[in-house]
Amino acid sequence: MNVDVAESSAFVKKHGYVDTYAFMIHFRHLCEREFLRHRAVQHDWAGDGGVAIFDTSYRCFEAAMTLLPTLKLAREFPPDFRVRIGIASGELGRVLDREGCIGKETGEVLNRAGHLQKYVRVDAIAIDDATRSALVAAKMSLPTLVEETNEKGIRQWVCTHATAAKWVRELSQGIERTEET
């Protein structure tokens, strides 16, 4: 999973460095809470975003689906604090430094997650075909995902903030559903 603050340079110009720093600390705290809650294997930060690695596609997807509404509903953030999330599934080629940081992770899957995040509309989650296939094969409860091709020509399955919030609410009420496609 790749999660990033959208249009962060404009956000800093509008809110200043001191307020933005406070927002970023809270952003990281909320992200890390969801990463840990959904058992991320590793996570790391760079600038205004982060990368998290999970051992299953569903844990990653569930973390993103709970994270997006959490960030959008947090009263500590102004309305123009917006995020993008990209999820890709596959094998990672690991080249870790001595501390085991993700900074030197290699692999096409991390590149795909980064591209999905970068090119999805704000306040949305984009997943790749491999993730969608893994979720469908596992017969997991899924929200409606809209198939799109982003501006780089990459096919992605998109879930908006509103859809994510509804999905989380339904799961908390014990409503199971599968995607109709």
Given a cut of 60, is residue 105 above it in pLDDT? no
Three-class SS of residue 150? coil
pLDDT in tens, 154-169: 899 999 888 888 888 8
Contact 159, 143 (CB under 8 A): yes
Given a cut of 90, is residue 39 above it in pLDDT? yes
Given a cut of 60, is residue 112 above it in pLDDT? yes
pLDDT band at 46 (very low <50, low <70, confident <90, very high): confident
Helix H or strand E encompassing 85: strand 83-87
pLDDT in tens, 88-99: 988 766 545 555
Q: Token pair for residue 93?
A: 């080629």
Mean pLDDT of 71-92: 89
Residue 95's pLDDT is what? 47
Q: Which domains does the chain have, with CATH numbers?
A: 2-172 (3.30.70.1230)
Taking CA atoms, 136 is separated from 52, 59, 62, 119, 178, in Å, by: 22, 14, 14, 24, 8
Residue 181's pLDDT is what? 36
Give the DSSP letter string of 5-19: ETTHHHHHHHHHHHH
Given the DSSP bridges, would you call strands 83-87 and 124-127 parallel, antiparallel or unpaired?
parallel
141 vs 175, residue with greater confidence: 141
pLDDT in tens, 122-145: 999 999 999 999 999 887 778 889
Taking CA atoms, 18 is separated from 6, 9, 49, 154, in Å, by: 18, 14, 18, 37
Residue 180's pLDDT is what? 42
The residues, ordered by sequence, that sit 6+ positions from 152 with a Cβ below 8 Å of its Cβ are 115, 119
> Rounded distance, CA 52 to CA 24, Å?
17
> Rounded distance, CA 160 to CA 40, Å?
22
Mean pLDDT of 15-31: 93
